[in-house]
């Protein structure tokens, strides 16, 4: 989350890819499970009539009760512990007084820090009964994430996983956001490399054991183009169409990809 906000300033520091040791990945696995438990609790709590601020408070209480720290709170001035993005909001929605309504779709983006290492995950859920198109969009984001994660192994190229996300979503008639991408993750919430959700197989960075990536397709019902609201955070679709977001933190191990934020 939080890629290229604030007048499109890149948030990934140009310090090179940081390879994690097995011990570091173990700590990140613990952070990932704090995130996973929090996401599951939020999914269960979502209902018509709840406010996004109430969901934020629940998330912060859960993260801190696990002995972790919310990754997002105060990050570059962000006021919430999680991001809550409704309907045409793509990412970075600020939790507050807004009430969730029957038929909405809601993206919940959660990060937690354990012993200095981050975990990051997002899911989009329907609120009560939603339209068939909305459910198809959510399923497309989930499927794009799964397709990309399955190709995240040593010896692959970044373009392989980027293409997998794009091919899956576009094959179902949706579009993938171009202005915002996934990222490396570790001691910093955003590290190199950038992880686009579109690309060409066989192109891009060679993936290595020890890399940890936050893979996060953002899939729109209409155009892939977006704009930022006046709050300087919330990203919405340019055409007002629905958007769904799915994310996991994925480690490249000797045995292949491991989803550290698996629920």
Write the DSSP string, 174-192: -EE-SS--EEE-SSSSSEE
* pLDDT band for position 92 (cuts 50, 70, 90): very high
Domain residue limits, the chain: 22-259
Can you give the pLDDT at residue 194?
Answer: 97
Residue 153 sits at φ, ψ, to 5 deg, of -145, 160
Can you give the pLDDT at residue 1?
Answer: 61
Q: What does the pLDDT average to over 180-190? A: 98
Rounded to two decimals, the pTM is: 0.94
Residue 227's closest CA among 243, 215, 248?
Answer: 243
* pLDDT band for position 46 (cuts 50, 70, 90): very high
Mean residue pLDDT across the chain:
95
- Is 22-259 a domain of CATH 3.90.230.10? yes
Whether pLDDT at 42 is above 90 = yes
Can you give the pLDDT at residue 7?
Answer: 32
* 174 neighbors 132 (Cβ within 8 angstroms): no
Can you give the pLDDT at residue 196?
Answer: 98
* 5 neighbors 94 (Cβ within 8 angstroms): no
Can you give the pLDDT at residue 200?
Answer: 98
Other CB atoms within a 10 A radius of the CB of residue 79 amount to 14
Residue 133's closest CA among 198, 222, 46, 239?
Answer: 222
How far is residue 170's CA from residue 42's CA, in Å, rounded to a whole number?
A: 29
């Amino acid at each position: 989350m939080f890629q290229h906000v604030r007048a499109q300033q890149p948030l990934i520091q140009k310090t090179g890819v940081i390879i994690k040791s097995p011990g570091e990945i173990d700590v990140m696995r613990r952070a990932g499970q704090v995130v996973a438990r929090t996401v599951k609790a939020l999914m269960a709590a979502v209902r018509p009539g709840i406010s996004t601020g109430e969901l934020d408070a629940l998330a912060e209480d859960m993260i801190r009760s696990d002995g972790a720290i919310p990754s997002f709170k105060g990050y570059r001035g962000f006021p919430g512990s999680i991001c809550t993005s409704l309907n045409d909001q793509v990412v970075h929605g600020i939790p507050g007084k807004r009430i969730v309504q029957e038929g909405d779709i809601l993206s919940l983006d959660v990060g937690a820090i354990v012993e200095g290492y981050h975990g990051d995950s997002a899911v989009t859920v329907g609120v009560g009964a939603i339209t068939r198109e909305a459910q198809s969009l959510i399923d497309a984001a989930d499927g794009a994430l799964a397709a990309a994660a399955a190709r995240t192994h040593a010896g692959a190229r970044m373009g392989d996983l980027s293409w997998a996300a794009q091919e899956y979503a576009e094959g179902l008639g949706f579009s993938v956001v171009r202005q915002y991408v996934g990222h490396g993750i570790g001691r910093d919430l955003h590290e190199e490399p950038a992880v686009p959700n579109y690309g060409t197989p066989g192109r891009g960075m060679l993936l290595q054991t020890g890399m940890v990536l936050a893979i996060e397709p953002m899939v729109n019902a209409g155009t892939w183009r977006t704009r930022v609201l006046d709050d300087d955070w919330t990203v919405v679709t340019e055409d007002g169409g629905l958007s769904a977001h799915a994310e996991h933190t994925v480690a490249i191990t000797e045995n292949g990809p491991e989803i550290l934020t698996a629920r």
